[in-house]
Structure formats: structure tokens, C-alpha cells
Amino acid sequence: MKETPPRQTRIDHCFKALRERGEKGFVAYITAGDPDLASTFEQVLVLERAGVDIVELGIPFSDPLADGKVNQESAARALASGTTLNGIFDMVQALRKKTDIPIMCYCYMNLLFAPGFERTIKRGARAGIDGMLILDLPVEESADYAKPLNEVGMNNIVLITPTSPDARIQAIVRHASGFVYAVSRTGVTGMQSKLDSSANDLLKRARKATDLPLALGFGISNPVQAAAAARHADAVVVGSAIVQQFHQAGDSRAARKRVGEWMASMVQAVKE
């Protein structure tokens, strides 16, 4: 029986438009609920005004194995403020009255599985979530979860790393949609002083395995690094640096405006 082709999401349309314009994409990560969901709502709108193409919402989790210090602390603040997955979905549903920007979730499997995977992703799709990046879902089990994501109209976004052998990259991308997230270095998220030399090799190997757009992330924290990453990838992902900027600036309209101005310089570096 032929597999149903995935429905086109906002993420798919975004990358198609970027290709047509000859532009690179900018994916911005923030932790949902840091410092609270009302602030996250405003942060998404700030990011959109700064020119970001896709927003990646980190779902706060008590045991974030792929996250460095900045994002761990951000998740702890979000959990302390009472953030829940249902609350995040409600916030996104409200956001959809203001913006059509593609929104994906960066999530750990337990948060989706414990309340019932299919029921949870259906709720997320109704809210307006376009894709899921499930950090701790092994490739050996991914087919079982990629299918229901496809059925509700969500992209199954996957991670590949510099230590992934070519055969494993091919297996990982087989059930992917939307784009492939290439990790620029081994280890956890966090700001770095320079891009790892293994990043370009990973992108070259990934190009042989998939026609999906490739986004490069982990460690990118300034315009110079962002521009360097954009030379080889289809999109750049920036996370910890944005989380830190919002946290240090403070939770006010003026503070968010300052972060927006900094974000605009990051986006410009990718687009030039």
C-alpha cells in the first residue's frame, strides 16, 4: 500500500518561498514559558518582526539531555512559572490570530507519549503547530511516529550529527519531512566562539542522503557565525544566544524591542 504523501505545512511553504527568492532561512529557538507564556507570545511576534522565518518553541522538560546550561536554566524558569504542554498549545492557538509564521516544537518524547502520542499531536496540530523535532526518538522507532505526524499535517524534523555514519544518516532522513537539522558539533546546545570544522563535512554527507533543506544549528551566537553557517546550509538555527538575550534584557516591551534590534542584525547576516 502506497504511503500517503505528507501535507504541505507552513514550514514546507516557507522553504519553497526561500528557494524561489534565493534566500537562506533563519530559525529562531526560544523556550516556551520563559519567563511565562504571555511573554513567549510577545517574543514570537518580536522575532517575526525581526525577519525570522521559523520559530522553534522549546517545550520545557525536567531532564533535557540535549540542552546546555542556558537552555536548561530557561526550561527550569518556564517550569517554575507553571508552563504545561496544553498551556503552550493554547498560547500558539491564540498566536494564530496574530501571525501565520511557521512554528515547530523542540520536544522530548516523554512529554508527548505520557498523555497519549496521537491525541497530543492532534491537539498540537489543531493549535497551529507545524512540526515536531523529537530529540530522544531513536531512528529505529521513528517510522511508527512519523506516520501519525504526517497524518495530522505536521513535519517530522530530525537531527543528524557529525558522528552519524553515512548509513545512519540515510536511515534518519528516510522518514523526515520539512527539513533536516544538522548539529554543527558534538555535545549539547550552547554558545560557541567559532563554528566546528566538522559542520561542513556533515552538510556535504547529508546532501547525498536527502533533498530536504538542511538547517545548521548548535553553537551559533553572533552575526559572523550565522553568516558563515548560511554559506553552506539552507537555513541557520540560533537558540541559546536568543534565550540569553531575552533573559538578560528583562521582560518589558522596551527590552523586547532591544532584543528585536539585535535579532534583525542576526537575520540580516544570514540573508546577505
Place of cell 542584525: 265
- Between 272 and 194, the higher pLDDT residue: 272
pLDDT at 188: 43
pLDDT at 105: 98
Residues identified as active-site: 56, 67
- The stretch 237-249 carries a mean pLDDT of 95
The secondary structure of the chain in percent helix, strand, coil, rounded to multiples of 5, reads 50, 15, 35
- The stretch 189-194 carries a mean pLDDT of 46
Count Cβ atoms within 10 A of the Cβ of residue 84 and give its class: 0-12 exposed, 13-18 middle, 19 or more buried: middle
CATH fold label, 10-271: TIM Barrel (3.20.20)
- Between 25 and 163, the higher pLDDT residue: 25
Q: Among 238, 254, 153, 159, which residue's Cα sits nearest to residue 191?
A: 238
Q: Among 30, 87, 96, 94, which residue's Cα sits nearest to residue 57?
A: 30
Query: Would you call 38 helix, strand, or coil by DSSP?
Result: helix
- The stretch 112-128 carries a mean pLDDT of 97
pLDDT at 6: 59
- Between 225 and 214, the higher pLDDT residue: 214
Q: What is the pLDDT of residues 229-238, one digit of tens each?
A: 999 999 999 9
pLDDT exceeds cutoff 90 at 202: yes
Residue 25 in contact with residue 216, Cβ under 8 Å?
no
Q: What is the pLDDT of residues 56-102, one digit of tens each?
A: 999 999 887 767 789 899 999 999 999 999 999 999 999 999 999 99
Domain boundaries, the chain: 10-271
CA distance 125 to 89: 9
**Side-chain half-sphere CA neighbours of 6 within 13 A:** 24
pLDDT exceeds cutoff 70 at 5: no
